[in-house]
Amino acid sequence: MEFFYSEKNGWNKWLKSIASKKYSSCFVLVDQNTAKHCLPYFKKQVDFPFTLITVAGGEASKNLKTCTVIWEALLKGGADRHSLLIILGGGVLTDMGAFAAATFQRGIQFTVVPTSLMAMTDAAIGGKTGVNFGPIKNQIGTFTQAESLLLDTRFLNTLPLLELHSGFAELLKHGILKGGTYWKQLASLSTPTIPYLEKLLPVSISYKQHIVDADAKESGLRKVLNFGHTIGHAIESLHLAKRKPITHGAAVLQGMWVEIVLSVAHAGLKPEIANQLFEVLERFTKIPTYTEKEISLLLSYLQHDKKNNSGNCQFVLLEAIGKPVFNQVVALDHIAHALRIC
């Protein structure tokens, strides 16, 4: 996948790259939010005709029904296997749009122009595409790499603080996994400002891409990137089922909190290090108190997790900051206990 950064003449280079591929047609996918806040700026940068596809935004729209809307628009617009889909949006739209492209006529090329911090640090990198199935996160999907990614941090100015915090969860995750100076830089922040994020993003993107390059289909090392996501996806599913969705980042922050508790019990993480991590995470989220009914539901969602093996729940846990271990089996009663004491 090619990377283009706006501060390095990225738009011009990206446009030349698209022109060189001689696509038969171009489509731009937006949701209602990016149509309003991001599309006008995008139109000023591009010099080619395109067909616009607009869908509903938000986690509740991340499903096969919305994909059908995208596929129908591609068909109506005359898309063929030599067409290009440009995804202009955040994490939900990136995951879903990439899946729609990867499955339309057995796959057309797509490029991502991420407009949220979550998309820039997570969804746009690594080739994971997917949609939710019922309340269960990302059950239908593929591993398909984007043709390219264009990163323009000016889009971050359109985001509310809640969405910045959501995306910052991924940077915090990368910092915990990577450790060293990068973690110290992240741990010193009380709120993510855009000028500071512009300095941190290349480090985070480079870290994730290095892991993806080494293990594209998550057979080994790439599994460490699931830290916080095993519990986090179950938390998202719980909120989706209640029709009270929370941001992906909020769920991941809460998931990291629970998995740090499990790390102390099962991976030898020192309690004083866990407390240092909690102190940082607490700046960006509050871990809720779950009822026994909610814990039971979370455990049921965990049993549908894609990373399970022979019915066993597998986690990424921490031996120390910068020392994650994957394929860690934890019994359901231990998970329930961790959820109760968080």
- Taking only the tens place, the pLDDT of each residue in 276-315 is 999 999 998 888 889 999 999 999 999 888 777 767 899 9
What does residue 151 show for φ and ψ, rounded to 5 degrees? Answer: -105, 115
Percent helix, percent strand, percent coil in the chain, to nearest 5: 55, 20, 25
Whether 179 contacts 323, CB under 8 Å: yes
Q: How does 239-262 read in b/e, with b if 16+ C-beta sit within 10 Å? A: bbeeeebbbbbbbbbbbbbbbbbb
**pLDDT in the model for residue 312:** 86
* Average of per-residue pLDDT across 67-74: 98
pLDDT at residue 191 tops 90: no
What ranges in 77-193 are assigned the alpha helix state H?
Answer: 91-103, 117-118, 161-178, 180-187
Q: What is the rounded average pLDDT for all residues in the chain? A: 94
Rg (CA), the chain: 20
Domains and CATH numbers, the chain: 2-158 (3.40.50.1970), 161-341 (1.20.1090.10)
Distance CA 231, CA 239 (A): 13
Is the pTM value of this prediction over 0.85? yes
Question: Above pLDDT 90, what percent of the chain?
Answer: 84
Position 271 confidence tier, pLDDT thresholds 50, 70, 90: very high
341 phi, psi to nearest 5 deg: -95, -5
In this model, does residue 6 exceed pLDDT 90?
no
Burial of 144 (0-12, 13-18, 19+ CB in 10 A): middle
Instruction: Say what the pLDDT of residue 342 is.
Output: 82
pLDDT at 226 over 80: yes
Q: Which helix (H) or strand (E) covers residue 265, if one does?
A: helix 248-266
Q: What is the pLDDT of residue 290?
A: 92
Mean pLDDT of 131-154: 94
71: Cβ–Cβ under 8 A, 6 or more apart, which residues? 100, 104
